[in-house]
Structure formats: C-alpha cells, structure tokens
Amino acid sequence: MSGIEGAHVEIVEEEHEPGTGVVLTAVRVNGVDVGRLAKAPKIYAGDGRQEMATITLVLVPSRIEIKGDDVKDTRAPIGFVAE
C-alpha cells in the first residue's frame, strides 16, 4: 500500500447473537474503543485501480479533548499515519 500503514478498524455489534443480523454500534481502532456510531458508516472499497479502502465514521464519543501540540501526551497513539 504505497508506504501508508493503516489502523485496524473494527465496526461491531456488541453482544451479537450468532445467526441474527448485525446492527453496527461500536467502533474499535487497534483494539481501543473509540466511541459509538451516530449513523451508519460510509465504506468505499476502492475502484479496482487503487488498493485503498476508506471508511467515514460519525462517532458519539464519551469524552472529547482538544489540546495544543505543546501538551505532552504519554498515551500510545492508536495507529494513524499520514505522509
């Protein structure tokens, strides 16, 4: 994938019962719960010319923090890489 390393994104139904339809409710990125879905995700699997798939998520986070880049954050990043 042209040098871009992406995150492992899981869109899941919590407490899903096998044999029933899936109602997507929660989102995990690299195993970390990042919030609940506010509406259905938009998933683009590519057009056959590129290997890149994109997912647009609208989340309802439990908490949101907006910080300047001068704040030292000791938590590990969740895996997004931009070039």
Convert the pLDDT of each residue in 4-30 to its tens digit.
577 888 888 878 888 888 877 888 888
Q: For residue 24, give the amino acid letter.
A: L
pLDDT of residue 32: 86
pLDDT of residue 52: 74
Q: What is the pTM for the complete model shown?
A: 0.53
Residue 63, pLDDT > 80, answer no
pLDDT tens across 36-59, in order? 888 888 888 877 777 677 888 888
Cα→Cα distances 19→16, 22, 23, 26, Å? 9, 9, 12, 19
User: Could you count the other beta carbons within 10 Å of the beta carbon of residue 27?
Assistant: 20
Q: For residue 57, give the amino acid letter.
A: L
